[in-house]
Each structure stands twice: as C-alpha cells, then as structure tokens.
A and B are shown apart, each in its own frame.
Chain A
Amino acid sequence: MTGGDKFLLFIIALTAVLSAFFIYFNNKNPEQAIISVDGKVVSRINLKENSSPKQFVVEGVIGKSTVELQNGKIRMKAAPCKNQICVHQGWIHSPGQSIVCLPGKIVIEVTGKSEIDAVSR
C-alpha cells in the first residue's frame, strides 16, 4: 500500500463515520412505521399502540404483500417476489431500520428518535 492508498482508506472511513453521524442522529419524527409504495406513503402505524398480533395486505407494484405487526415489531410476512429478501429480513422495530422490497417498490421504515439518543439524554 502506498501513502495515497492509506490516505484514501482514511478518507473513506471518515466519510462513513460522518455520514453515519448525520443520518442516524438526525431523526426527529415520532416513533412509527411508515409504509410506502413507489415513493408514496400508503400508511403510518404507531408500533407502540399495536402490541396485539395483526396483519394486513399492501398492494405493491408486482402484487399483494402481507405485512404483520406484533409486540411493537413489524415484518414482511409474504411477498410475491422471486428472491424473498424482504421476507428474510424478519422483524424490525428500532428507529432507522427498514425493510425494502425492490421488485414491489414497497418500503417499510421505522422512524423516531434512535435508542442511542434516548440513552445519552
């Protein structure tokens, strides 16, 4: 490795840390799950108020996907896509986490103050 390589490595690591700082600690929305299809928000769910199991259908671009809620967590239960990456991601609950279904253009994201914020206060 030359000096230039090491400098580049340092710059990449620094960019990662700085972007992490800006993206993860700049979250001021109330804690909720936002489901959007093709860039448009289709529903907002308060995870804390939905502790009993519940499921519903989201109409994606390539067909119907099933979303399940339980104990303040949310997951993609079933999807019509080929690779099933969104289903394998499992349950999510903390702010900043998201489930993405690229073929169906469905995004589930949990917003709100991050847990690290809450601890440091």
Chain B
Amino acid sequence: MNPKNINFTKRQIRLALLIAMGGALHLVESLIILPLPIPGLKPGLANVVTVVALYLFGTGDALIVGVGRVVVGSLAGGLLFSPAFFLALAGTIVSTPAMAIFKKCRWFSVIGVCLAGATAHNLGQLSMAMFILQNKVLLYYLPLLIIFSIPGGLFTGYVMKSLLHRIGKKGILPI
C-alpha cells in the first residue's frame, strides 16, 4: 500500500472511533433527564468528541464526527428521524462551524470555544424546534437556553482542557 492509502485508512479509523465514542455518549445522555425547567436539556458531553476532532483533525472532520455521532446515537436509541434527532442534528450543524470560527480567533481558549459551541448548539436546536412546530411560543425558552449553555459550555470546556493536556503529554490515538 502506498503512504497516501495508509493515511486515508488512518483517518477513516480515527473518525470511526470518535463517531463510535460520540454515539455512545449521545445515547447515554439521551437517557438522562435533568430536573430543569426545559425538557431534554443536557450537559453536552457527546459534543466533546466533536471538539476533539476539531482540535486534532480540523473543521471538516469535526463536522463528519458531529453528524456521524448524532446519526449513530439516534439509531442506537431508536430515535432516528424523530424530532429529537433533528434537534440534535441542527445543534451540531450550527455549533461546529461556530466553534471553528472561535478557535481561529486567538482570543479564546478551548473553554471559550466550548462556551460558544454550547450557545450555538442551543440556538440551533431552538430554531429547529420552532421550525418543526411552526410556532414562536418556544421563544419563551430562549433566555433559559442561553443561560444554561454557560454551565454546559464550561463543563465541556474544562473536560476538553484536561483532555487536550493529556493528549499533549502522552499522544493518544497512536494509530
């Protein structure tokens, strides 16, 4: 095999591993119901794999991992093409480019990137929910969603910070 093919295979395996991990986290998270005023609000743990892909492999691969983990996680949970699936998909499609833009800016660390990602994710989900329902009553949730994206973003941000620290030290994903 020539080196080009090997690199292609390596990339495929890495993305597949991240999608599998993200799908598992997505599935576990969808089973957790937090006692909050908004139904279905989650800390965004599954989004961590998207950020890992963004930092290690770039924007395009992050988008592949993000969409892939939503499809895999929803498929495993029996929710493929349900409203919950479209909400998660909209969140990922909006948040990944937002995080890529914030990562390009030198002013923000990984925590700022995750904060921006969480907020963008929630706004994307809300827009999709309003589109599905064709009703603007959901705007009632807007301030709450923005506020709850702060703890969610900080949580994934600090997880990412410690993760990147470890990756830098030991160099995981040796394949």
How many B residues face the partner with a CB closer than 8 A?
31
Q: Contact between A12 and B146 (Cβ–Cβ < 8 Å)?
A: yes
Over the window 83-120 of chain B, the binary record of Cβ atoms lying under 8 Å from chain A Cβ atoms (1 yes, 0 no) is: 11000000000000000001001011101100110010
- On whether A100 and B138 interact (CB within 8 A), knowing A3-B107, A4-B112, the answer reads yes
Contacts of A85 in B (CB 8 A): 39-40
Contact-residue size bin, chain A (C-beta under 8 Å from the other chain): 20 to 34
- On whether A20 and B143 interact (CB within 8 A), knowing A85-B39, A89-B39, A103-B82, the answer reads yes
Q: Contact between A19 and B142 (Cβ–Cβ < 8 Å)?
A: yes
Asked if A65 is at the interface (CB within 8 A of a chain B CB), the reply is no
Closest chain A CB from B42 CB (angstroms): 13
Contacts of A19 in B (CB 8 A): 142-143, 146
Contacts of A100 in B (CB 8 A): 39, 129, 133, 137-138
Q: Contact between A23 and B140 (Cβ–Cβ < 8 Å)?
A: yes
- Identify the closest chain B residue to A34 (Cβ): B137
- Identify the closest chain A residue to B147 (Cβ): A16
Separation of A98 and B105 alpha carbons in the complex (Å): 39
- Identify the closest chain B residue to A7 (Cβ): B107
Separation of A89 and B40 alpha carbons in the complex (Å): 11
Contacts of B132 in A (CB 8 A): 102, 105
- On whether A4 and B150 interact (CB within 8 A), knowing A19-B143, A109-B137, the answer reads no
Q: Contact between B150 and A23 (Cβ–Cβ < 8 Å)?
A: no
Which residue of the partner chain, among B82, B140, B149, contacts A96 with CB atoms under 8 Å?
A: B140
Separation of A103 and B139 alpha carbons in the complex (Å): 18
Over the window 124-162 of chain B, the binary record of Cβ atoms lying under 8 Å from chain A Cβ atoms (1 yes, 0 no) is: 000001001111011110111011011000000000000
Asked if A45 is at the interface (CB within 8 A of a chain B CB), the reply is no
Binding site for A on B (CB under 8 A): 39-40, 82-84, 102, 105, 107-109, 111-112, 115-116, 119, 129, 132-135, 137-140, 142-144, 146-147, 149-150
Binding site for B on A (CB under 8 A): 1-5, 7-9, 12-13, 15-17, 19-20, 23-24, 36, 38-39, 82-83, 85, 88-89, 96-98, 100, 102-103, 105, 107, 109
7 contacts across the A-B interface (CB closer than 8 A): A1-B109, A7-B107, A23-B142, A36-B137, A83-B84, A89-B39, A109-B140
